[in-house]
Structure 1
Amino acid sequence: MHCLFGPLGRFLAHPVLHLALVIVMACPHARAGVTFRVSIDKSVHAGEASGRLVVYLIGQGSAVGPDPADGPFFEDPQPMFGVDVRGITPGVPMIVDDTATGFPAPLSELTPGTYKVQAVLDMHRDNSSWRHEPGNLYSGVTTIKFIQGDPDRVIDLTLSKATIVEDEKKRSRDRGETIEITSKLLSDFRGRQVKLRAGVVAPRDRDPARAYPAIYEVPGFGGDHTSAFRMGGSFQRAAVNSSIGQLYSNSFWIVLDPESPNGHHLFANSANNGPVADALIKELIPAIEKKYNLIPQPSARLLRGHSSGGWSTLWLATQYPETFGATWSTSPDSVDFRKFQLIDLYKGGNAYYQSAKAKNGAGVATVSADQPIPSYRLGEKEVMTILDENRMEEVLGPGNTSGQQWDSWFAVFGPRGKDGNPAAAWDAKTGRIDHTIAEQYRAYDIAALLRQQPEKYGPIFKQRVRIVIGDADNYYLNEAVSMLKQDVDKLNFIDLPEGVHGSITIVPGRDHSSIFGTKEIQSIPAEMAEHLKRNGHWPK
């Protein structure tokens, strides 16, 4: 969930960008006459170019940034405008004007003031971040000024830079390495070659003759397998006798890549993303275990994930208990779709606006019926709404193609639309929920599956699942976890041969990030080590 985007830094690197000054003038809240004319520098791209062109702005005085193309920004949403372009050659202008999809309003309604501006042409659809795709084009940062009463102006921007993605093979292998295979399952589904990747951190002082257990980590939204290299460095710095140091010496840590054309695919088979779970279990894990001599037993395959990674690992642990032996899932995406963040997908009427009647159990209205539903909070302050977040995604990729958070959920949980794109669970403009689509989400509703089949899922939760979340989660994900906890706590089983090791812990006062500073999360390495010892995967 949002881990590497907006307030939690959805991108990983910031190239140094050139800053120039241009002055442009416009009238307030009327036809500003401002048009962005964007062209490609042939020195960075000589052939035709197609994709999504987005012009990002940051208003003077905003603390976000430093670069407009680092957006969207949750803490302080900024203007952005997007258009599709096809077959553009260097020197041919691409026009962004009032016909563009705009946030928070059309370009003609841009509030007077001074703005930093930057343009990006995303020519690929393989990753949730344009920065992680090689060859995407972007401009330097330009400062513009809109002043009331001045004439129409055209702002020229040049795409003079191209993204460069580091060659993972050139990284130091002492901190980790990448394993990559071609997936036949996903290649057949997409009709083109698809690679599966994982970042692998080998144990300290690895014994070539020893078979090791493995911890499989699924990153949160915007993360990928390359975080293994950073983790490898931190593991090396850990004291040998510390809990993480002991775990590092006795297991492989493997970071999976959850990215897809539709964003984070959650490692759940779906109509839009294809058999991603099957590909992991039937293709990637066997290849990893063969190359690194891992123990091919469920009890020797542990799962770890936070946010969207938390949901992914919870899904894998409950759906594939014959493959994975336990999970430590923190702050997972919504686990009960009666609280899809704050939306009741099944009984709610609108995803954007709060029903006053539903706000209070006694039917007393505590807010007006048209109060936007929040999607992100900082402490007690609500700073982002579901409406605005969806509108920003529409700028980045109309028709649920942005690869961002809500569009990624549409792709996993819902069907494919008639246009071939993920079908939305609600109308993009009005927020009205389409219950014929929302009902199909039940197949991925973890709490609903537990209620429907307690004899199947209950023992897994009691024995193998650990969930930790703060009750002040920024994305309100604690609401769904609280409901799941109630369902799990009601269950009792006479025979639990693995013992009762599962738990759901809701930590007071902690949010989506500060939860990492709690003893509940800091004790995870020791709990993993204890699991491995209990199952005979630890040296005596």
Structure 2
Amino acid sequence: MKNLLILTLFVLATNIMIGQQESVKLAFHISVHKELKASFKSAGRLLIYIAETDKIEPRKSSIYNGNGVVFGTNINNWDKNETKHLNGNQDWTTNANWNFNSVPHGDYYVQLVWSQNGASESKVNSPGNLYSESFKINTKVKQEIRLSLSKIIPERKLITHDLVKLFSFQSDTLSKWWNQPMNIKASVLLPSGYAKNPSKNYPIRYNVAGYGGRYTRVNRLLNNKEFMSWWTSEEAPQIITIFLDGEGPFGDSYQLDSENSGPHGEMLINELIPNIEKQFRAIGSSETRFVDGCSTGGWVSLALQLFYPKTFNGCWSYSADPVSFNKMQLVNLYKDANAFYNNRMYLRPSMRNLNGDPQFSIQEEIYFENVAGVSNTYTTSGGQWSAWNALYSPKGEDDLPMPIFDPINGEIDKQVAEYWKKYDLLLYTKANWTELGPKLNGKIHIWMGDMDNFYLNNAMRDFDSYLKSTTNPKSDAQIDFSPMKEHCEDYSHKYVLGEIEKRMQEIKNK
């Protein structure tokens, strides 16, 4: 859809001659185009992305690609006939070390996003939100720039294919908890022989996405000619794959019960799984049900196997998020005083490359998330730390997740950290091993790169050490560490499906 919204952006530079100052003031006049007035929502968050390159759209800037800065502010009761005048005097949250009253001279690419989805979508770049074309400005030249924000982020769609189906239902469990209708979606990839064998029942695999992954990620496999050539051949295993949706009110739901996001685990186990397996002719037994994923999906698949050991007959967990919070990346949440700085007052990196070169710090990551959050903090950003915090933390007096650390100075809240122990997979496994261990026989398969970009191998090493030390029973978990391998580098849908097929063969041979 085009030309739905026209926002007029005036960038007013100072009249001082070029070269006489090092910065300028910017002011913005923003109006709503008449064609949008029927559908425009009056409350939302305005985000202004400013980048120094146009290699990617500024609105797609993130801490991960190191591109640009962003400013954000909430606007309520915006009259659709009103022109907004915004400048450096407004209450902006930003990750920049400058503001609109003092913009360093240079060439920039500016793009605006009007995030009007509220609680229905946690991400800024989600369907229904509006954005502009990227526009280049030069702050050394007096400019009046008009930006037409005439684009809308389209709805998600599954590629039409005989082997792909949409599963959608309204969850009674989540709807009751949220006191509003909560709809859940998943995509289904059927085995090649499904239509030809209408009376056959199949084993089933639940795939959990990396952070924020949606049910439409099956489209990537459909566009992969090599995978689809294999999947539709006689060589491919006859297994149903369910691609779970990662959306939650504060970011990824992590498919588990949470004081903040609601009973997503209960929904998955008691609603989604029974309904989807009945509709698509799964065998429907715990022996023939499996779970896997990478990154967020690696943590969730392992957590589901641990918390619901009789529901699944095996997990394949790759590059799992921190399985112990005494090594939450490089932070010991139980002992350290600050998440941003170590005890030598060095900024802790959050990401590194293969050679160990830091890419950005936790502080930079949090400051970027603070801008996206409607609370002006990472706790409502829909980003990675927002989702972790929503899952692991208690609810605060403001009905929002209590922050594990201060969004500005990084000081760790020890009371909140104590609450996080409930989701610490290492602590949970240790505390419940006598009862849990026998239920996990043959079910734990873990892969981790020893140069994981997010330092996730540190916590997994502790998990591995504990499982190797177990007795009564002795753990048979398979945990492989690959030297000089990065995050999710060896993850493969084809490999996991092949391993599940082997597991099924073992069951048949019993």
- 1:37, distance to aligned residue in structure 2 (A): 2.8
Q: Output aligned runs, 1:86-485, within 5 Å.
A: 86-98=76-88, 99-107=91-99, 108-124=101-117, 125-133=119-127, 135-147=128-140, 156-168=146-158, 171-206=159-194, 207-232=197-222, 234=224, 235-238=227-230, 245-247=235-237, 250-356=238-344, 369=345, 371-379=346-354, 380-397=356-373, 398-399=376-377, 400-460=379-439, 462-485=441-464
CA, structure 1 residues 461+180, in 2 after alignment: closer, same or farther (shift >3 Å)? Answer: same
Which shifted more, 322-331 or 93-102? 93-102
CA, structure 1 residues 494+100, in 2 after alignment: closer, same or farther (shift >3 Å)? Answer: closer
Q: Cα RMSD over matched residues?
A: 2.8
- 1:537, distance to aligned residue in structure 2 (A): 9.8
| Corresponding position: 1:509 with 2:488 | no
| 8 A Cα contact 1:470 1:507, kept in partner | yes
Gaps spanning 5+ residues in structure 1: where? 1-17, 357-368
1:387-414 deviation line (CA, Å, top 9, x unaligned):
0111111111124111111011110000
**Secondary structure of 1:303's partner?**
strand
| Corresponding position: 1:529 with 2:505 | no
- 1:143, distance to aligned residue in structure 2 (A): 0.8
- When the two structures are aligned, how many residues end up with a matched partner? 489
1:273-325 deviation line (CA, Å, top 9, x unaligned):
11001001111111111111111211111001111111111111110112111
1:417-471 deviation line (CA, Å, top 9, x unaligned):
2111111101111100000111100000001112222213334555211110101
Cα distance in 2 for residues equivalent to 1:461 and 1:289: 23
**Secondary structure of 1:132's partner?**
coil
Cα distance in 1 for residues equivalent to 2:437 and 2:55: 46
**Secondary structure of 2:257's partner?**
coil
Cα distance in 1 for residues equivalent to 2:41 and 2:255: 34
Cα distance in 1 for residues equivalent to 2:410 and 2:474: 46
**Secondary structure of 2:169's partner?**
strand
| 8 A Cα contact 1:39 1:158, kept in partner | no
| 8 A Cα contact 1:37 1:154, kept in partner | no
| 8 A Cα contact 1:317 1:327, kept in partner | yes
| 8 A Cα contact 1:265 1:408, kept in partner | yes
Please name the residue that 2:3 is paired with.
none
1:10-58 deviation line (CA, Å, top 9, x unaligned):
xxxxxxxx9x999864699987321233332231343442111100011
Cα distance in 2 for residues equivalent to 1:375 and 1:341: 7
Supply the AA of the counterpart residue of 1:384: F
| 8 A Cα contact 2:163 2:191, kept in partner | no
Supply the AA of the counterpart residue of 2:315: T
Cα distance in 2 for residues equivalent to 1:476 and 1:270: 25
**Secondary structure of 2:247's partner?**
coil
| 8 A Cα contact 1:311 1:329, kept in partner | yes
**Secondary structure of 2:248's partner?**
coil
**Secondary structure of 1:438's partner?**
helix
Cα distance in 2 for residues equivalent to 1:58 and 1:475: 25
- 1:121, distance to aligned residue in structure 2 (A): 0.8
Q: State the TM-score, normalizing by the size of structure 2.
A: 0.89
| Corresponding position: 1:491 with 2:484 | no
Cα distance in 1 for residues equivalent to 2:509 and 2:285: 10
CA, structure 1 residues 405+88, in 2 after alignment: closer, same or farther (shift >3 Å)? Answer: same
Cα distance in 2 for residues equivalent to 1:29 and 1:351: 38
**Secondary structure of 1:189's partner?**
helix
**Secondary structure of 1:40's partner?**
coil
**Secondary structure of 1:505's partner?**
strand
1:467-488 deviation line (CA, Å, top 9, x unaligned):
1010111111111111111111
- 1:145, distance to aligned residue in structure 2 (A): 1.4
Cα distance in 1 for residues equivalent to 2:452 and 2:401: 28
- 1:90, distance to aligned residue in structure 2 (A): 3.3
1:70 is aligned, of 60, 66, 82, to: 60
**Secondary structure of 2:272's partner?**
helix
Cα distance in 1 for residues equivalent to 2:86 and 2:487: 36
1:471-514 deviation line (CA, Å, top 9, x unaligned):
11111111111111111111134588xxx4x3111110011143
| 8 A Cα contact 2:278 2:284, kept in partner | no
